[in-house]
Amino acid sequence: MLYWTLIFLVIALVAGLFGFGGIASASAGIAKVLFTIFLVLFVISLIFGVVRGV
Please write the tens of the pLDDT for every residue from 3-14: 887 888 888 888
The pTM (predicted TM-score) of the whole model is 0.68
CB-based burial, 15-25: b 16+ in 10 Å, e otherwise: beeeeeeeebe
CA distances from 45 to 11, 33, 34 (A): 29, 18, 16
Return the pLDDT at 18.
Answer: 82
